[in-house]
Structure 1
Amino acid sequence: MSLSARARHALVRRRLARLHNLHDFEAAARRYLPRAIFAYIANSAEDGRAFQANRDAFDDYGLVPRVLVDVSRVSQETTLLGQQMASPLGIAPMGLGALWAYRADVVLADAARAAGIPMIMSGSSLIRMETLGGQGESTWFQAYLPAGREAIEALISRVQAAGFTTLVITLDTPVATNPDNLRRAGFSSPLKPSLGLAWDGLSHPGWLCDTFLRTLMRHGMPHFENNYASRGAPIFSPHVNRDISDRGHLNWDDLAFIRERWPGRLVLKSVLHPADAARARALGVDALIVSNHGGRQLDGALSPLRALPGILAAAGDLPVMIDSGFRRGTDVLKALALGAACVFIGRPFAYAAAVGGEAGVAHAIDLMTAEIRRDMALLGITRLDQLGRDHLAALTMLGERGLAQPAATCAREPHTDRPLHDQP
């Protein structure tokens, strides 16, 4: 290891030693990253109501522990889509990774594989899918579908040739989201060179040297690599405008077309309505991810945790996963108690990769798995299959009177009149 590499490693170790939960990574990344790039990761749509609702939803439920249980041995291993997982966690797809961390998609995938959990590579990655394809069942590929059957077929053929066996289709991007918050922060896609953007980079020398200049010297200017079957625009361009407005034509027939041609596991992401879950099941997909894109698309969208019971009822025996807003082990266990098969986390792992590379992502995973293990013991369970709705109390609207009822007996699903125990 060279002197500079040893110095970088020591610096990262010291930085990570001060980070004790997933919230800490956000504060560290805010200091480390240029304002525009941090804003891209942290961004939520419009007034942030969906983003806040994702966090507030966890307060709908209280945890009900059992006592005097031998918890000297606790295992959080689980099975998802026929694959053994060391923990019920996964890394959600996040675009433009090479902007916020050196070889971000690679370090995320490597850390996830080492930890025995899945990672979903984004279709908006600045690293070619072929770099990660064929490296094992733990790395999935998420696609944004192009316009036209010929282009769709070319893309999924490329994903298959790259060696991926699980394809995730994100459904909540028919048009580009409102960019007003990003514009205020100086971010666009691609980035348009300006004096303000240049100063933003120069004033963050750690990021400038360890991420941007390092990428330029070793790999050249990053480009959008995976939205279509060929290379896209460069990430810095004064003239190109990249948007996704041409996806608005996509429909269920296009999904049926993909199901016919994709031989691997097909997962639909961003399902919030039970009718869509039922239709996806009839289509023959293999799993669903309940998601509102972390509050980045439609402001005011229903939080995935609140949508989860209805989706589970409509999905039947399909595995139903979830993302958006998860930050603590107790958040994860609440979703699993409701019936989720796995929880994906996005922004905190982007922050972790930014401030610490693969070591940062590994540290974030370790913190979360330690929380889950500790919280399982405090709940009085030693295996995830012991976790159920009797470990939850649905908190009523009469919070000021301190009233709560067990979710497994007579509590109501939030915002419906259906008892929770009537949902599978």
Structure 2
Amino acid sequence: MDMTSEPVGRGRQRQTQVYVRGLGGEKPAVPVAPERLQEAARVHLKAPDFAYLAGGAGAERTLRANLAAFERVQLLPRHLRGHTERDLSVSVLGHTYATPLLLAPLGVLECAHPDADRAVARAAATEGVPFIYSSQASVPMEDCAAEMGESPRWFQLYWSRDDDLTRSLLRRAEACGAQAIVLTLDTTVLGWRPRDLDLGHLPFMRGRGLAQYLSDPVFRAHLHGPQPGPATTPPRTPALLRAGAELAARGRPYHLSLEQMRAAVARFTATYTRPDLTWDDLARLREWTRLPIVLKGILHPDDAREAAARGVDAMIVSNHGGRQVDGAVGALDALPGVVAAAGDVPVLFDSGVRTGADIVKAVALGARAVLLGRPYAYGLAIAGEEGVREVIQNVLADLDLTLALIGVAAVRDLDRSVLAPA
């Protein structure tokens, strides 16, 4: 047999690359094991930044439940299937993507690395993975789009109390070539997050994660002219002086004064989400954009049925990575019920995905595609753009090899037959 003609998939390529480099004494800069990846990121980050990226709500029961749900689902391999290559491609919202992996929208990526979303955009484009821009990005969506060329991107929306601002963000997303709008449902208020509270640290109060707003003409229009001052002037402590200097520095790229930055933080805090949204508001969103609408945060089958009845284009099963409701159901546990209730509406998945084998399990349970979150942020913290690329390569290599080892030739062929009985 001529081994030189043997097909080589993503998994073999990545393995070979790592092992060949190992012959020269070079180990991967980014750990492969999920637990070691998180610990390596912790070493590279300041305590408040790691807390924001890694933390969950309350006692973090839901964060752990997400991981435990994957532990309970087991694969049941088949052999002698005659497959030599794997097809990882999937079809989502009329687009064919090379793999079922998308990069989830993560806010305040400057917590992980100064290049933030810009580095992630480059990595996603290079690896051929769609990137979902966050409303709470550290880099304006236009800058990320310029880095990505024709590579696919979506936009995640927090529906502001200022409808004019919401419409402006939608127009900008369309102009940037976004292929879908992802409306996040589960963050109408910020969850109770002890790691951040114990440190007294919320990035937005320091002007971080506000790039989409500071670059938006509607938002900026409210910041010009004299701003109302506080009733009393707080003492000029060293900590407040440092905070003022940090705000001033963040305003400089947008030509905003310190007072305008303070006004920006106050306005964002007052308007960033709308707790009073109802299902009827989706009709307004449909009028405001020509893009497909994806609802992120669906866990209850009744909500899935309602979303389908309202004509949404897709939905994402998600509990915000355990960051919002402590004690909420593990996302993977909720996935089968949502898929059954959604009918013909495509269902995507996030929350707790750490490996390629996790992607296999989620797709086997009915997800069309899967969003990866914290792991790529950890890669970003460790090695910037290259770190994000390595995380993507590792997850997709694991996906490819897992398919090979369970006897499945294509992601689209995954179903419950590859799972052990519960």
Shorter-normalised TM-score: what interval? Answer: 0.7 to 0.9
Higher relative contact order (CA 8 A, sep 6+): 2
- The residue aligned with 1:185 is 199
TM-score normalized by the length of structure 2: 0.78
Indicate whether 1:66 and 2:55 are aligned.
no
- 1:358, distance to aligned residue in structure 2 (A): 1.3
User: For residues 245 and 162 of structure 1, do their structure 2 counterparts lie closer, same or farther at Cα, with a shift above 3 Å needed?
Assistant: closer
- Corresponding residue for 2:101? 89
Residue from 18, 30, 51 that aligns with 2:63: 51
- The two structures have a TM-score, normalised by structure 1, of 0.77
Where does residue 80 of structure 1 map in the other structure?
92
CA contact (8 A) 1:132 1:139 kept: no
Secondary structure of the equivalent of 1:324? Answer: coil
Q: Which residue of 2 aligns with 1:372?
A: 399
The gaps in structure 1 that reach 5 residues or longer are: 1-12, 193-220, 396-424
The equivalent residue for 2:219 is 230
Shift of 1:191: 5.1
CA shift at 1:148, angstroms?
A: 4.4
The residue that corresponds to 2:241 in the other structure is none
Paired amino acid for 1:142: Q
What SS does the corresponding residue of 1:31 show, helix, strand or coil?
Answer: helix
CA RMSD, Structure 1 to Structure 2 (Å): 2.5
Look up the match of 2:420: 393
31-40 or 182-191, which moves further after superposition? 182-191
What SS does the corresponding residue of 1:355 show, helix, strand or coil? helix
Counterpart in the other structure of 1:213: none
Partner of 1:211: none
**1:349 matches 2:376:** yes
How far is 1:245 from its partner?
A: 7.4
Distance 2:127 2:289 in 1: 28
Contact 1:274 1:310 in 2 (8 A): yes
2:367 matched residue in structure 1: 340
User: Which AA in structure 2 matches 1:224?
Assistant: L
Correspondences of 1:186-335 after superposition (within 5 Å): 186-190=200-204, 224-227=210-213, 229-231=218-220, 236-237=246-247, 240=265, 243=269, 247-335=274-362
Structure 2's unaligned 5+ residue stretches are 1-24, 224-243, 249-261
Q: Partner of 1:28 in structure 2?
A: 40
- Contact map agreement 1:174 1:246 (CA 8 A) in 2: yes
Structure 1 distance, partners of 2:405, 2:344, is 30
Q: C-alpha separation between the residues in 2 aligned to 1:291 and 1:223?
A: 21
For 1:256 and 1:393, how far apart are their aligned partners in 2?
A: 42
Aligned partners of 1:380 and 1:15: how far apart in 2? 30
**Deviation of the 1:246 alpha carbon:** 5.1
Q: CA shift at 1:223, angstroms? A: 6.1
Structure 1 CA distance for aligned equivalents of residues 356 and 386 of structure 2? 20
Instruction: Tell me how far apart the structure 2 counterparts of residues 388 and 37 of structure 1 sit (CA, whole Å).
Output: 39
1:245–1:142 CA distance, 2 compared to 1 (3 A): closer
Find the partner of 1:140 among 147, 154, 162. 154
Please tell me whether the aligned partners of residues 190 and 235 of structure 1 are also in contact (alpha carbons under 8 angstroms): no
Q: Does the CA contact (< 8 Å) of 1:141 and 1:167 recur in 2?
A: yes
In structure 2, do the counterparts of structure 1 residues 286 and 77 end up closer, same or farther at CA, with 3 Å as the change threshold?
same
